[in-house]
Structure 1
């Protein structure tokens, strides 16, 4: 006969590695009745925050003379070993108890059963599955709320009710070794996980209101999503993250490269609060041109502005100025008109013959502008323009990535039977994406290592 260990704990905080247990209650349940019980306050050897004292009623004074966890660890392990570990949001309680047992020399490897998840599955459609509101909806008495004994007693009654109502066998199925039910976040449906594809793409974790809180890319969407839940990290960041996940959405991509590009674009679009690395990436500087009041075309490096007509973009001011200095030298441009020098009436290059005097009106704007335009054309001609043809999302299509004049313009899909030498046809399938150095460098690197998939685009072809 299966035996269940219904557990509830009170703690000093939300994650096991930095907090302690202040109270624990364990009720051994045979599926119908409680047949054994253990309950005690525990000295966590750290202060209990005031807001937790207010919530639970457990003060520093109350636990000062209580046993340390290591003193009761043998009894706790004896009760839990070979039982099914049951709790409301089981991964929270289990992470604390397993961590504390491990520090006392015991390895807990129990099967787990989450009464939040099972309640959602067996009794769907309730307004809330928090322990207090769930008990109120089901008529289960709940005394001493936020104390281990009271919450454990209510959870034991809930367990019995779930076992009685489980006509579909959800509980036995969740306990099978092949089931991943109990490693999932408490608010995420297993059906949602089962619907995920084994293909490359981008996945989206969403909160209770449907807001995207995390975007990730994957070679295998289902495998990557499940990996978020199978780790052993017990820090607060992970605990908070898992509690906020209510749904997973996805977009299938033809290749891993397309998934990387879509991930970067979606992070910049949605700014999910749980993403960090790519959120910090922003294009910082760009090369611009404009005509001044005297008719001279000016080149200059300035901060990048979205939707601006930049000639080229840079991650740093230094790299932008370095390229501009190269253009000045190669095409005999004026450093002052290119904003490299700002404090003189004439640039120093004029003294050495490397400037024809546009900085103080000696050179005609038409003659000077012709060299500026030549420099811009030379820059554009040196920038790569090509399409990358690769696998599609299925056997009936191919993917296409489009780069023109050193900018990533977008990507899309074409029929497998299309003529890939038909540039106009390729271009018609492209969905535009904002280019930045992060995306462009990924595409250029891939094109360099896969030259057989690259189709060069004529410079006369403009997007």
Structure 2
């Protein structure tokens, strides 16, 4: 038996919206056996544009039962039946969510008449319920009301059952069928062609715009997981509504796919990505000569017109390095902006400052120490390339970091590990670096020294 369901809601998604009307048509696939319909008090205002669309107003639902009062009756009608709806994931998410709030777990097989219609009635310009019914001469009474749409969907379902020559319904009801959870506009072929290899995947809308970028060790499995869970969050439901195409790129290994995901998120700034979209101010150690001729060091935000000797993702990292340099090279904390110049010098108290702040140390001698400190920063700048499994047996992936500030990525022949730095750099694509990538590359190099080449 099949339960054809249609609901009207306050809009939004299952976790924030509410049902205002529900209709259920029970059918054996040929004849309608039973119907049920009820207005529902959503316990929240109905937006004016929803009222204009459905005709259901706050006044109409004021004395209607709240969902809890009809939950058990709805559950009895739906359990042990296949849940059928036009865009089934929308209706199912609302009904299952509201039933769960009253301790009722709906575990039904699902059929979507949108996806089913695309398989059985091909090459129609539109598969909306209204356009389908017009094409098939199926009458709809009270469009955008629950029973009117549910009754029309039931008649459409009967037509699909009768014309299902290739047993699509039987295939769609099999355990694990993708049609039970995929977005209505997404073609199964997009997933079927996707390998279970490491890579980066992209969700596109109907105009090709990228909505989301993700990475996965097993591409197909990860993409399926986006749609196969029953999350009712606004973000998840909106993504399901918009995604119409999936593309991907294989990258061979986890390091490469993680680097490329970060690069793509920063480059595209997709609407549905959250992580790695925060602005990352970069900090660096710079030097300048003050009015006394003393060479001073300081940690500043990096800007185009400021030359820095070393870069850091966080200001605190720069300050830690400055404290280290001050003690190692006997530099004055005041001259390095590590303390307020109006108070006693901490370096003098701890006996590593030799008195330039009190004019008791020769300026040229002090500046020589600063120059040595700046030169030592080169020991903390990494120039290296990390290699990994490529897309085939004849190539390696390669991520190159040069002096912490330059990043290049790509695929190279397996003998490229013998190349000099400049040749390797010419065969890779430059990319924008960020703190996440820098940390990832250095960590990968430390954990896999055999696949890491360090340059002078």
How does the TM-score come out when normalised to structure 2?
0.85
Q: Secondary structure at the match of 1:258?
A: helix
Alignment partner, residue 30 of structure 1: 28
Contact 2:204 2:244 in 1 (8 A): yes
Q: Give 1:15 shift.
A: 2.6
Residue among 398, 401, 408 paired with 2:399: 401
Give the stretch that moved more between structures: 261-270 or 289-298.
289-298
Give the stretch that moved more between structures: 58-67 or 304-313.
304-313
Contact 1:381 1:405 in 2 (8 A): no
CA distance in structure 1 between the aligned counterparts of 2:186 and 2:113, rounded to whole angstroms: 13
Q: Secondary structure at the match of 1:95?
A: helix
CA distance in structure 2 between the aligned counterparts of 1:200 and 1:428, rounded to whole angstroms: 25
CA distance in structure 1 between the aligned counterparts of 2:156 and 2:371, rounded to whole angstroms: 77
Alignment partner, residue 206 of structure 1: 204
Q: Secondary structure at the match of 1:176?
A: coil
Q: Give 1:363 shift.
A: 4.4
Q: Secondary structure at the match of 1:217?
A: strand
1:108 aligns with 2:96: no
Alignment partner, residue 354 of structure 2: 354
Q: Give 1:388 shift.
A: 1.9
Q: Give 1:269 shift.
A: 0.7
> 1:287-333: CA deviations, max 9, x gaps?
34568999987644332337976433223333323423443554466
Q: Give 1:286 shift.
A: 2.5
Q: Describe how 1:24-423 pairs up with structure 2 within 5 A.
A: 24-136=22-134, 138-280=136-278, 282-289=280-287, 299-305=297-303, 310-331=308-329, 354=354, 363=363, 372-407=370-405, 409-416=407-414, 418=415, 420-423=417-420
* Matched length: 452
> 1:129-150: CA deviations, max 9, x gaps?
3333444455443332221011
> 1:215-269: CA deviations, max 9, x gaps?
1111111111111112222222221121111111111112111111111111111
CA distance in structure 1 between the aligned counterparts of 2:96 and 2:240, rounded to whole angstroms: 18
CA distance in structure 2 between the aligned counterparts of 1:275 and 1:234, rounded to whole angstroms: 18
Q: Secondary structure at the match of 1:280?
A: coil
> 1:86-140: CA deviations, max 9, x gaps?
1111011112222333344543222111122223344444444333344445544
Give the stretch that moved more between structures: 58-67 or 227-236.
58-67
CA distance in structure 2 between the aligned counterparts of 1:255 and 1:281, rounded to whole angstroms: 27
CA distance in structure 2 between the aligned counterparts of 1:157 and 1:124, rounded to whole angstroms: 18
> 1:375-433: CA deviations, max 9, x gaps?
333101233332222212222222222233334622322223x1623335544433222
Q: Secondary structure at the match of 2:20?
A: strand
Contact 2:411 2:428 in 1 (8 A): yes
CA distance in structure 1 between the aligned counterparts of 2:232 and 2:34, rounded to whole angstroms: 29
Alignment partner, residue 447 of structure 2: 449
CA distance in structure 1 between the aligned counterparts of 2:172 and 2:370, rounded to whole angstroms: 70
CA distance in structure 1 between the aligned counterparts of 2:97 and 2:137, rounded to whole angstroms: 34
CA distance in structure 1 between the aligned counterparts of 2:167 and 2:21, rounded to whole angstroms: 33
Q: Give the aligned CA root-mean-square deviation in angstroms.
A: 3.4
Contact 1:357 1:363 in 2 (8 A): no
Q: Give 1:78 shift.
A: 3.5
CA distance in structure 1 between the aligned counterparts of 2:252 and 2:74, rounded to whole angstroms: 51
CA distance in structure 2 between the aligned counterparts of 1:304 and 1:220, rounded to whole angstroms: 38
Give the stretch that moved more between structures: 199-208 or 156-165.
156-165
The runs of 5 or more residues in structure 2 that have no matched partner are none
Q: Give 1:159 shift.
A: 2.2
Contact 1:283 1:314 in 2 (8 A): no
Q: Secondary structure at the match of 1:197?
A: coil
**Pair 1:150–1:447, CA change in 2 (3 A):** same
**Pair 1:234–1:336, CA change in 2 (3 A):** same
